[in-house]
Structure 1
C-alpha cells in the first residue's frame, strides 16, 4: 500500500484479466496478418468470382424455371409418361446415347427434365403426358452453375482448382481470426462516419465474425466437393493399389457387366413398380447404355426432413435389383458425404433458406472484395499507392456482375451456353481494357451503372422473348421483379457522401 496526500492508504487495483486471444504474441499476430494478406491477394479474384457465382447458383432452379417460362408445368407424372419422355428424348438425340439423366417434378421445380449425354448439352422438357415440349432452354443457368463448379474448364481440372480456392478461403478465414486478437471482443464495434478505410475494415472484420459458421461451412464443403477426385485418387492408391473404381464402389453402385449388343430402349415401367414404398419421392432416374443389352437404371428416392435421406436402387435391364442402398442404413460418414452438396448450395428448407444463403453468400463475396480494398487503402495511406492495381481490382469487382447480366441477355436471345460464355468474357475484357484509362472511382461508378442497366435489359429481354405477360410459370414474374428491383437499386444507389469520404483518418488508428 502507498499513502495518499490525505494520509489514507491507497488500494492497488487488480490488473484486468486478459482473454486468451489477447495473449497471442505480437510477433505471431504480425506474421499471421502478413500471411492472411498474401493468401487473400493471391486468390482474391478467384475467390470473388466463385463466391459471387455461388451466391447466384443458390437459385439455380428458380432461374431455370425463369428461362423455361413457356414450358409446360408438371406437378406429377406416371411411369408411362416418364417412359414416353425417355424414349422421345433418345429418339431426338440419335444413335450412340450413353446416359440419360431424368429429373422428376418437385414442388420447387415443376418440370419433367431429361439430360441426354449432358456433356453434349442435350436437354429436353416434357409435358405431363411425356411428350417432348419446346421451351426447355436454360443456357444461362447452365452457364452460372458450371462457372461456380468448374470455371468452365475441363471438369477434372476446373473442379480441382475450385477445391483449391475453397482451401484458400478456409485458410484466409482462420488466419483472419488469428491475425485480429480482439475480433470477437469487438464483434459489435463499428467506426461509422469517419475514415472510409477504417469503416470498411470494421465491416470486413465484423462480417467475418458474425457469419463465421456459414463461411466455414461453405469453404469446407466447397473444398471437399472440388477435391473429391484427388481424395478418391489418394484413397485408391492407399487402399486398392490405385484402383479408384473400387473407391467409388464404396459409395455408388457399380454398373452391371457391360454388354454392348443393341437392344430396345430400356423399359423403366417395371422398375417403378418394384420400388419399395417407404413414403419417399422419386427424385432422379439415371440410366446407362439405355439402347444396349447391358443397360441399367439407378433410382434415387428422396425422403422428406432428412438432409441425407436418399435411397438408391439400381436395376438391370430385366428389372431385377442388383444394388439397394437405403438411407436409413448410412453411417455418419456416408450421411456427411451425402449431405455436403445440399448444405453447400442451401437446397434444403425451401425459399427462406435460399434467401438466407444468398444474403450470406453476398457477404462472403464482400469479404473477398473489401479485403483487397483495405490493402490498397493502407498502401495509399503509407504513401505507396498502387493506382494500377486499384483500377484492375475495380474492373474485376464490377466486370463480373456486369458480365453475368450480359451472359443472361445472350442466353435468352440465342439459347446457347457458348454465347453466354462469350458475352461474359467480352464484358470482363472490356472492363479490364477500360481500367487502362479510367481511374478506379470512375470505373466503379461506370461499372455500377452498367451492371444495373444490363440487369434491367435482361428482364426486358425475358419479357420480350420468354413468355412476356403470358408466362405460365409465376416464378418468371418473381425473378423478373427481383431483377428490376436489383437493377434500379444499382442505378439509384449513392454510396456514402463526399464529406464522409474526405474526412481525415487518425494517424494512429489500427486497421
Structure 2
C-alpha cells in the first residue's frame, strides 16, 4: 500500500515575494507614479518625438542640400574657412563646429559660437563644403529643448528631467515587484470587461514587453539629466572641489589663453593621423576651440564601425599634435559607458529601423504612464469615491501635449518662429481650461482629440503650401507630411464616426428585413 499522507500534507508553493512586500511595493509604485505622472508623461512623449528630431529638421528645410557621402577633407577645409570668415565678422575668438553623420542625417552642419560675446551662427553646406543656406529648424529645436530641460534654465531643467528619469526607473522596478505574476500573465488581455481591467492589462502588458527598453531609456535619461550633479560629486571626491578638472576628464582638454593669430588646423593631416591606427574610422564632427589662435584645441570626432558610441574624440593642440583621445571606443568601461549613453537613450545607433522601434516603444512607455493614472482614477470610482475633476484634468493634460506641439508647429510655419514657447504654453493652458469646464472626461478627450486632428492636418497643409512652390526635394518631408495628415484624419475619424452613428435614427441601425418570396 502506497503512503499518501506525505503528498496530502505537502505545503503549497508560495510566491517568491511575501504579500506584505508586494503591498508595500504597490503602494510605493502608486505614490511615486502619481507624484511624477505629469512630468514623466511630458518627458516620454517629447522623447518619443525627439528620436526623430533630425528628420524633423530635414522636414523644416526640405530644400536644403543633402550630403550622402562623407565630406572629403577638401570640403571640410572649405567649410571651416567659410565659417571662420563669417564668424570673424562678429567674433574675436570663435569656436567652430562642423558635423556630418550619414547614418543619422544627410545635413552637413557648419556653425560657430563665441562664449564671450554670445555671437553665433549656423549654416548648411553642400558636398563641396560651400555654405548654401542658413540652418533654420525652430520647431525641432523647441522639441529638443522641451525634452532635455523643459525650457527651464538649463541647469535646473536638466536636474528636474534627471529626477524624472530616476522616478520612472523606480516606478518600473516597483511595478515589477508589486505584480509577482506580471511575467506569467504577459500575454493575457481581458477584453469586454471594465475599463479599469482593460487599462490595467494594457498597462502591464506594454510595461513587460518593453521592459528592457523602458529601463535603458530611464536609466540613461537619469544619468544624462543628473550629469551636472555627477560632475559636482566627482569634483568633490577626486579633485578637491575643482569642477574645471572634473569637466576636463569628461570633455577633454580645453583651448589655451594664447590668442595670437595662427593658421587654422590642418584637418586633412589630423584625419590621416587617426586613420593610420584606425583605417576604418569615419568622420563625424570637428570642434575647433578658439579657432585661428595659437592656443586653439581641435576635437576631431571619428567613429570606428562596431562600437556603440556615436564617435570617439581625438584631441589636437595648436601645433597639430595629438595629445589624447576620449576613450569612448577603446577606453575604460566607464568611458565606453559614457560614450554609449546618448546613442542608447535616443536610439541613434542602428539606422532607421532602430529609430522606428524606439518610436513605437517610446509611445508604449507614454501609454503605460497615462494608463497608470487612469487605473488609479477608475479604482477610486469603483470604490464609490470618484474624482471627476481629476479625471477631466488628467484627460486634458494627456491630450494637451499632442495638441500643443501640433499648434506650435503650425504657428512656427505660418506665423513666426519666435512664438513657439508662447504657443505651447497657451495651448497647454487652453486644454486645462477645457478640462475644467468639460461635462466629463470623455467629452474633454473628444474635444482635444478633434482639435489635435484638425491641427495636424493643418500643419501638413501649411507645410506643403509653404514649400511646394520651391519644390520639396527631400523625400523625408513628404513622408512626415503624410504621417501628420494620416494621424490627424485617424484622430478626427475616431471622434466624428461614433458621434455620427449616435445621430442616426434608430430605424437605420436596425437590421433590414425583406419580404419572403
Give the TM-score taking structure 2 as reference length: 0.88
CA distance in 2, matches of 1:70, 1:96: 33
Alignment partner, residue 40 of structure 1: 33
Q: Deviations over 1:52-74 (max 9, x none)?
A: 00001111221111112111112
1:141 CA displacement:
1.2
Q: Deviations over 1:376-429 (max 9, x none)?
A: 11122222222221221111100111111112122333563x422222111111
1:244 CA displacement:
2.2
- Say if 1:488 and 1:121 are closer, same or farther in 2 by CA, change over 3 A: farther
Matched, 1:407 2:408: yes
CA distance in 1, matches of 2:47, 2:364: 12
Alignment partner, residue 484 of structure 1: 485
Alignment partner, residue 172 of structure 2: 173
- How many residue pairs match? The answer is 488
SS in 2 for 1:348: coil
Alpha carbons 2:289, 2:297 under 8 Å: kept: yes
Alpha carbons 2:327, 2:336 under 8 Å: kept: no
Alpha carbons 1:69, 1:135 under 8 Å: kept: no
Alignment partner, residue 102 of structure 1: 98
What's the RMSD between the two structures over aligned residues? 2.7
Alignment partner, residue 215 of structure 2: 216
Please identify, of 242-251 and 257-266, the stretch whose mean Cα deviation from structure 2 is larger.
Answer: 257-266
CA distance in 2, matches of 1:477, 1:291: 42
Alignment partner, residue 4 of structure 1: none
Alpha carbons 1:391, 1:440 under 8 Å: kept: yes
Matched, 1:50 2:43: yes
CA distance in 1, matches of 2:8, 2:498: 48
Alignment partner, residue 148 of structure 2: 149
Matched, 1:362 2:363: yes
- Say if 1:151 and 1:121 are closer, same or farther in 2 by CA, change over 3 A: farther
- Say if 1:269 and 1:304 are closer, same or farther in 2 by CA, change over 3 A: closer
Alpha carbons 1:140, 1:420 under 8 Å: kept: yes
Alpha carbons 2:449, 2:492 under 8 Å: kept: yes
CA distance in 2, matches of 1:37, 1:46: 15
Please identify, of 255-264 and 447-456, the stretch whose mean Cα deviation from structure 2 is larger.
Answer: 255-264
- Say if 1:486 and 1:292 are closer, same or farther in 2 by CA, change over 3 A: same
- Say if 1:10 and 1:108 are closer, same or farther in 2 by CA, change over 3 A: closer
1:322 CA displacement:
2.2
Residue among 69, 77, 94 paired with 1:83: 77
1:79 CA displacement:
2.5
Alignment partner, residue 504 of structure 1: none
SS in 2 for 1:340: helix
Matched, 1:316 2:312: no
Q: Deviations over 1:270-322 (max 9, x none)?
A: 43454434211110111211143322211000112320373322122332222
CA distance in 2, matches of 1:200, 1:287: 52
CA distance in 2, matches of 1:389, 1:46: 16
Alpha carbons 1:456, 1:484 under 8 Å: kept: yes
Alignment partner, residue 435 of structure 1: 435
CA distance in 2, matches of 1:425, 1:121: 27
- Say if 1:156 and 1:471 are closer, same or farther in 2 by CA, change over 3 A: same
Alignment partner, residue 12 of structure 1: 8
- Say if 1:228 and 1:496 are closer, same or farther in 2 by CA, change over 3 A: farther
Matched, 1:29 2:29: no
SS in 1 for 2:42: helix
Please identify, of 273-282 and 223-232, the stretch whose mean Cα deviation from structure 2 is larger.
Answer: 273-282
CA distance in 1, matches of 2:443, 2:134: 41
CA distance in 2, matches of 1:185, 1:169: 23
Alpha carbons 2:104, 2:348 under 8 Å: kept: no
Give the TM-score taking structure 1 as reference length: 0.89
Alpha carbons 1:138, 1:415 under 8 Å: kept: no
Alignment partner, residue 251 of structure 1: 250
SS in 2 for 1:111: strand
Alignment partner, residue 426 of structure 1: 426
1:325 CA displacement:
4.5
CA distance in 2, matches of 1:433, 1:58: 30
CA distance in 1, matches of 2:321, 2:216: 40
Alpha carbons 1:412, 1:466 under 8 Å: kept: no
Alignment partner, residue 502 of structure 2: none
Please identify, of 126-135 and 279-288, the stretch whose mean Cα deviation from structure 2 is larger.
Answer: 126-135
SS in 2 for 1:43: helix
CA distance in 1, matches of 2:433, 2:75: 52
- Say if 1:496 and 1:296 are closer, same or farther in 2 by CA, change over 3 A: same
- Say if 1:235 and 1:327 are closer, same or farther in 2 by CA, change over 3 A: closer
Q: Deviations over 1:84-133 (max 9, x none)?
A: 32333344442245422211251441111123229877321112222222
1:44 CA displacement:
0.6
Correspondences of 1:166-205 after superposition (within 5 Å): 166-205=165-204
- Say if 1:326 and 1:48 are closer, same or farther in 2 by CA, change over 3 A: closer
CA distance in 1, matches of 2:491, 2:331: 47
Alpha carbons 1:462, 1:468 under 8 Å: kept: no
Matched, 1:67 2:46: no
